[in-house]
Structure 1
Amino acid sequence: MVNQLADRLSLKSKNRLLRVLHQAGDLSAKICLKHFGKSPTFSKKPDRTPVTVADRMAERTIRKTIKSEFRGHWIWGEEFGEEGDKNSEFRWWIDPIDGTLQYIRGLPFWGSVIGVEYQGEVIAGLINHPAIDLRIWAAKDLGCFANGKTCRVSNIKKLSDATVAFGSLKNLKPADIKKVSKICRTAYDNRGSLDIFSHSLVIQGHLDAMMEFKLGPHDISAVKICLEEAGGKFTDLKNRKTIYAGNAISSNSFIHNSLLRVQ
């Protein structure tokens, strides 16, 4: 039913969403790049994750861009929480800088993540990596693109031939540690996390899967639609197609079930 509802959204409406996503990406990138590489000061939020002035300024700009075009849409951002009509058919998720610690330390792989849900399904999203001049975007049934070129996931068919990346392994449950260890032994190769950039690598076919064990909808809303439009598969660790589980697997689809079966 959700897919049928999302399919009713017109091409014009999808293109309008994409236009606003790109506008928000352009404006927030200018802010983030202005402060990047200059050892920005930061503070720690209650969950002890860092936040900079660029995070807050970029999110304000993204919110303003959305609201100027779509009055009443519900918006949730990492730095300022929610606003708008909770009953709106549209829900926007914003992570102004995913990989803030990277950003602070001068690593260029951080990115801005903006996703849009319509009646419960993510239908458009943008992942912007301005420090390396990479932008990925997608809308339902319109394909996924990186800097204007069509994205496709890899065609690696077996986990034993695949390269798999993992999010932070800090504070993992024993069962998850066991799962990660077994995947590392089974896969051809494994990599540590570069936050959102690891998902971007899966979307472009440079990695075969990325697993994360602690995240929120704002971290991955755009990942889901971009990956699916690039031919991949996105689920939680229980094989549910949701951004709300607090964990996620992005894959090229071929090795997805193999990852899920590892215990």
Structure 2
Amino acid sequence: MISISSNLNIMIKAAEKASKSAIRDFGEVEKLQVSKKGPRDFVTKTDKHVEKILIEELSRTKKNYSFLSEEAGSIQNKDKDNIWIIDPIDGTTNFLHGIPHFAICVALESKKEIISGLIYDPIKDEMFYAEKNKGAYLNNQRLRVSNKNIINECLFSSNHEGVKFSSLNMRYSGSAALDLAYVASGRLDGFFHNKINIWDVAAGALLVEEAGGIVNDLDKFDQNNIDIRASSGAINDKMLENLKNF
């Protein structure tokens, strides 16, 4: 077992507890697909319930830390230098349609720097996590980005559906967080997206960097409208060349 900080330990436990609710509700989604109303309202409640559990669990021992979350927005507490960044369900559309590809995301920003990140895929029971200068891991196994350097042999992802990049082999998964986790683990070679929110990419960007990859201007991320480019170092220049007009 690798050594992890108390903050990351809290994040892992919070994500595991919140995942029980997400898994239970996901089991109900298939039953709602055939109803006239559909599962949209149900999934919105799931999103908020998962967020509530995360905030409660993270606050148990770090009572003064602030929050930034997709659903609740900004919650200012006494400690404004340390901020939990939460996306309760990244891949909501997948969840909505009964597609088992979504994740719970938590990152910790300390003095404007992302120092811990976690992406948990509860259906596959894959826990991706990283800490600044300590490496990236999947279920306690060290992660490294891909080392492929021939762009035609690489696989890229973007959540810009409908946008075609004829020179790149593309996949569209519906979860930016898991795409970044997959770049960190070498399953994908690169990920890019324009105008995305911080809670979608905070944890994943740290994972990629700690797995030896490159993320553009990670320290300059604002809360929203982020243009992100993440890849292995071996393919980064070639990917950026293909995206120069994007």
Q: Would the TM-score normalized by the shorter structure come out above 0.5?
A: yes
Aligned counterparts of 2:181 and 2:129: Cα–Cα separation in 1: 10
Segments of 5+ residues of structure 2 without an aligned counterpart are 33-38
C-alpha deviation, 1:86, in angstroms: 7.1
For residues 8 and 178 of structure 2, the distance between their equivalents in structure 1, rounded to whole angstroms, comes to 21
- Decide whether aligned partners of structure 1 residues 114 and 219 sit closer, same or farther in structure 2, where only a CA change above 3 A counts: same
Match of 1:255 among 213, 220, 235: 235
Select the residue among 204, 212, 218 that pairs with 2:199.
218
Normalising by structure 2, what TM-score? 0.86
Give the drift of 1:242.
3.4
Which of 143, 148, 154 does residue 151 from structure 1 map onto? 143
The question of whether the paired residues in 2 share the 8 Å contact of 1:213 and 1:248 is answered with: yes
Query: Is the partner of 1:168 in helix, strand or coil?
Result: coil
Provide the rounded CA distance (Å) in 2 between the counterparts of 1:166 and 1:85: 35
1:51 CA drift (Å): 4.9
The equivalent residue for 1:3 is none
**Per-residue displacement from partner, 1:76-133 (whole Å, max 9, x unpaired)?**
1111112133762211110000011111211111001111111111000100000111
Question: Identity rate of aligned residues, in percent?
Answer: 24
Deviations 1:176-229 (CA, angstroms, capped at 9, x unpaired): x5xxx4xx3333x22123312222211110110011123211111101111111
- For residue 59 of structure 1, give the secondary structure of its aligned residue in structure 2: helix
The answer as to whether partners of 1:167 and 1:213 remain within 8 angstroms in 2 is no
Give the TM-score normalised by the residue count of structure 1. 0.81
Q: Give the aligned partner of residue 193 of structure 1.
A: 173
| Farther-moved stretch of structure 1 (31-40 vs 189-198) | 189-198
CA contact (8 A) 1:168 1:193 kept: no
Whether 1:243 and 2:233 are equivalent positions in the alignment is: no
The DSSP-based 3-state class of the residue aligned with 1:112 is: strand
**Does the 8 Å contact 1:109/1:131 carry over to 2?**
yes
Q: How does 1:1-263 map to 2 (within 5 A)?
A: 15-39=5-29, 41-43=39-41, 51-85=43-77, 88-169=80-161, 181=164, 184-187=165-168, 189-195=169-175, 196-235=177-216, 241-244=219-222, 245-261=225-241, 262-263=244-245
Q: Match of 1:62, as an amino acid? A: L
More deviation in 21-30 or 239-248? 239-248
Q: Distance in 2 between matches of 1:206 and 1:91?
A: 30
Q: Which amino acid aligns with 2:210?
A: E
SS state at 1:220 partner: helix
RMSD: 2.1
Following TM superposition, by how much is the alpha carbon of 1:54 offset from its aligned partner in structure 2, in angstroms?
A: 1.3
Alpha-carbon shift at residue 169 of structure 1 (Å): 3.3
Counterparts of 1:86 and 1:212, CA distance in 2: 34
SS of 1:186 mapped into structure 2: coil
What are structure 1's unaligned runs of at least 5 residues?
Answer: 1-11, 44-49, 171-176
